[in-house]
Each structure stands twice: as structure tokens, then as C-alpha cells.
Chain A
Amino acid sequence: MKPIYFDNHATTQLDPRVLQAMLPYFTDLFGNSASRNHAYGWEAEEAVEKSRGQIASLIGANSKEILFTSGATESNNLAIKGVAEMYAEKGNHIITAATEHKAVLDTCKHLEKKGCRVTYLPVMGDGRIDMEMLQSAITDKTILISIMYANNEIGVLQPIAEIGKLAKERGVLFHTDAVQAVGKVPVNVISDNIDLMSITAHKMYGPKGVGALYVRRKSPRVQLTAQLDGGGHERGMRSGTLNVPGIVGLGEACAIAKAEMAEESKRLSGMRDRLRAKFESALDEVFINGSMEHRLPHNLNMSFAYVEGESLLMGINDIAVSSGSACTSATLEPSYVLKALGLGDDMAHTSIRFGLGRFNTDAEVDYVADKLISVVKKLRELSPLYEMVKEGIDLSKVQWTAH
């Protein structure tokens, strides 16, 4: 039996309706949307334009403001590098946050080597940025603020509308990596004053390998320096033959999300809250990481104190989730997102991220809760830390032998 999938922040299962919409574009309707001279090209172009409209409609944009990419990593690179190059004469300062995805952080680090100055805002204990710090970080050299809509580990929503309003007042462009939020919570580029926004299909029940970048066309008209040279597709901002089946899938995923978001988010937040309540009633010393008030409906990130994350995952190998533990990451460092919240390494090592999704059921929530509770109890029997805490020892006062 395959494990129960509770890792929907990593990726989501393709919705069968999305697959159905895509299939003809692999076979009969195989044309290149840039072929202007025959029906094959026209059919493909029509499908691409329909998708653009579906995406635009979900986020309150005009379809001309949507350009297609290979996914959010490319969208983030194009937005940030494209702005940095295009607006280099205006300034060289970028503001972002410590909890951003690596696709944003590493892009900023790359630009620092090219002469840009980057401010990495810390976050507060609840995972949100401090608006006053953002305000005072802006200088006359600031050209871009890049702050994610919702975090991929803790699901915390940033004050996007406030950031957008501030950016507009100060004449600074505002980019947001919205891959975790679009299709899950209402996102509107007009009311949020967003200038650039990264989207990917596979986080919203669409296919992998396709994404989009929203680029505002009016007040202000945002320009980007292209990062790929070639045929000048996508208004010259992103060359390369369009991935028509993928684009059709992204559009369909957006249309489904728009129709079902309200009901789906209610269902998922109900399941999430039940999962949390079960943990909290059965176990002591469990902690929520990040704000519960400003949070995606389908995210739960909890630390099960005194139980190391990887050993916990080993005990629940019929459940697919992620841990902030160093042992589960390639870098052997615990989650930098959790550390940015002020969590000690010890608590970061004990964290588990649950990402619920469209295809999860109530029965799965019950199973996951019961299984996790029993494994945590078993591992706490094994944990010298839990024993010491129960004896009344303050772990922060113990002289550990670091190694």
C-alpha cells in the first residue's frame, strides 16, 4: 500500500480533470503556438490564450499580464534578476525576508555578487515580517521588495496587502512568490498592489514543469530584462516554445481552484484543526510553529518536543510528511525557516510539516493522528530528554557535550 500523502506543500497529485484537459494537446493538438500560418498553430495558440485567461481570472489580472515559464523557480529568477537588470539605473537595493524559498534567497545572493545590495528582513516569532522594519529598510536606491505570499514550511501568510500598499506609496516594485497561496486562498493583484507574482501548476493539482509570472502592465508598467535569449516569445520576456499541454493544465487547475476554493479551504482547515486538536489532547509538550491566525488552511507545522524528527518519520513510514530535522535534509542543518522564527535547533529537529490536500479524507486524518501519537509516545519512552524534563530538569541549564 502506498503511504498516505500529507506532503501537499512539496507537490500535489494531478487532478484527473486537469489531465483530461491536457491529453489532446499531447497528440492531435500538438501544434506550436507560435506557428502563425496554419491551423495547428492556431489551435495551440487558442488553448494558450484560454489558459492565460483562466489564470488571470483567478488572480484578478488581465490575461496580457500573464507570461508562462517552466515553474516558480524560473518565475522568481526572471522577476528578481529581470527587475534588477532593467532598473539598475534607478537603484540596486532589494528587500526580501529570511524565510523565503531558496529560489528567491539564492537569486538575491547571486545578485549581491553582481553588485546589488540585499536586505534580508528577519521575521517575528509568528513568522511574519515587521511592517515597520520593512518601511525603514526602504531607501532611495530600493527597486524591489520580494516577499512570499505564504511560506512553504509553516504556511504563514505575510501581510501582502500592506506590503503592496507601502511599496506603491514608495515607488518600489513588489514581487511575491505566491506558489503556496494561489488557488488556496483568495489572491488579487489589484487589491494587493502586486507588481510581479510567481505561480506554479504542480502545487495546485496541475502538472510539474509549468508556471507563470504575473507582470503588471498598468500603473506602473513593469519591464523586465529577459533572462533567456531566443525567439522573443511572451512579449520578449521569456523566449522558448510554449509547453502547450502544461499550460492547458495550469489553466484548468486555476479554473477548478476558482470554482472550488471556498468550499475546499473550509473542508481542509476543518481537517487540519481536527488533526491539531487530536495531537494536543493526546500529547503534552507539542508546539505549533508559526501564526495560526495568518495561515494557509491546509498547513500544520508542529514540534513534538524531545522526539527527533527523522526517528519520528521512521515510525510513520506509511505516511508521507516532511520534517525540519537536519537528519532529513541534504545540508545536515535544521530548517532555516524555523530558526528564523527564533526556534532553537533542538525544537527545529522535532518538527513535522503536514500539508493537507484535495484528495485527503477524514479517515486519513484519524489514521495519521493515531499513528503519530502512538509513535511519539513510544519514542518519548526512549528519550532521555523527555525523562529529564519529567524529573524537573531544565534542559537549557545542562552542560551538553557538543560533538
Chain B
Amino acid sequence: MAYSDKVLDHYNHPRNVGSMDKSDSAVGTGMVGAPECGDVMKLQIKVNPLTGIIDDAKFKTFGCGSAIASSSLATEWLKGKTVDEALAIKNTDIVSELALPPVKIHCSVLAEDAIKAAITDYKIKQGADVAALAQAH
């Protein structure tokens, strides 16, 4: 399979690889996927309590090159956005930015799920109502 230049770039130079303290109240952690499916993404955001803006984002991904690229790109996009802006990121944006072929669309879906899971985790830590969040998404 031929990979797009952007997928190759993220694979060869992944952005924002790493982990943040899960117990930090400003950090939201999302972990999606399963090892037996061949991809697991962990995505973390750190929100500035004063501005509500995502100051930092980190990821670690077990998966194919497209999964790594999707999560790497997601962390780039998350930084500097408010939580609500981040929720507006759609998997189709990732597909078009990375020129993912149809068989790799699930990688972008997983990245969107990871963003949402990280934000949900953050909101729960801020005292949000879990049931209401579930309905909102």
C-alpha cells in the first residue's frame, strides 16, 4: 500500500508523543480501541483552568501508520483550541488532511473517539454530570 506524504511525515516524525499525569485534574485522558483489533489510542489533553484552552496534548498509539498519523495530527489540532472547539473536530477532517484511503477511515474514527473520550474524562473531573455528557455526545 502506498502511504500519503502526510501519513509518512507523521509516522517518521510523530508530534507530541508522551504521557501526562492521569490524576491531574486539568488532564483529560481518552483510551480507545482494543489490542485484538490491532489499534489502541491513548490521547491526553491538558486544559488551562483560567482560559479553558487546551495548552498541551499528548498521544501514544499502537496501530498501523495511519492510526499513528491520525492521533499525531489530532494532538497538533487540539493545542490552542477550547474544549468546545475541540469537540467540533470530525474524523472526515482527518481523512481529508491525511488523504486516508477507505480501508483506513476507521483510524480517523478512532482518533475522533479518542478526542471525545479525553474531553469527557476532563469534564467529569471538572464535576460534570456523566449522564448529561453521555446524552450530549
Interface residues of A (CB under 8 A from B): 306-308, 310-311, 314-315, 325-327, 332, 334, 344-346, 349, 381-387, 395, 400-403
Q: Is the CB of B11 within 8 A of A311?
A: yes
A345 touches B62 (CB 8 A): no
Q: Are B64 and A327 in contact (CB under 8 A)?
A: yes
Contact A314 B65 (CB under 8 A): yes
In the bound assembly, the distance between CA atoms of A344 and B38 in angstroms comes to 11
Q: How far is the CB of B74 from chain A (nearest CB, A)?
A: 14
Given A385-B40, A387-B19; A311-B35 close (CB under 8 Å): no
CB within 8 Å for A308 and B38 given contacts A314-B65, A403-B33: yes
The 29 listed contacts between A and B (C-beta, < 8 Å) are A307-B62, A308-B38, A308-B39, A308-B67, A310-B65, A314-B3, A314-B8, A314-B64, A315-B11, A325-B64, A327-B38, A344-B36, A345-B36, A345-B38, A382-B14, A382-B17, A383-B62, A384-B60, A384-B62, A385-B62, A386-B62, A387-B19, A395-B35, A400-B34, A400-B40, A401-B32, A402-B37, A403-B109, A403-B113
B45 to chain A, nearest CB (A): 15
Distance between B97 CB and nearest chain A CB, rounded to angstroms: 19
Minimum CB–CB distance from B22 to chain A (whole Å) comes to 11
Size range of the chain B interface in the assembly: 20 to 34
What residues of chain B have their CB less than 8 Å away from a CB belonging to chain A? 3, 8, 11, 14, 17, 19, 31-42, 60-65, 67-68, 103, 106, 109-110, 113, 117
Minimum CB distance partner of A315 in chain B? B11
3 tightest A-B CB contacts, nearest first? A346-B35, A400-B34, A345-B36
Residues of the A chain whose Cβ atoms lie less than 8 Å from the Cβ of B17: 381-382
CB contact between B62 and one of A306, A315, A402 (< 8 Å): that residue: A306
Provide the residues of chain B in CB contact with A308, threshold 8 Å: 38-39, 62-64, 67
Considering the complex, give the chain B residue whose CB is closest to the CB of A325.
B38
Q: Give the residues in chain B near A311, CB-CB below 8 Å.
A: 11, 63-65, 67-68
Closest residue on chain A to residue B113 by CB atoms: A403
Contacts of A395 in B (CB 8 A): 35
A334, A383, A384, A387: the one within 8 Å of B38 (CB): A334
Residue of A nearest to B60 (CB): A384
List the B residue with the shortest CB-CB distance to A327: B64
Q: How long is the Cα–Cα vector from A289 to B128 in the complex, in angstroms?
A: 48
Which residues does chain A contribute within 8 Å of B37, judged by CB atoms? 345, 402-403
CB distance from B81 to the nearest CB of A (A): 23
Bound: A265/B117 CA distance, A: 53
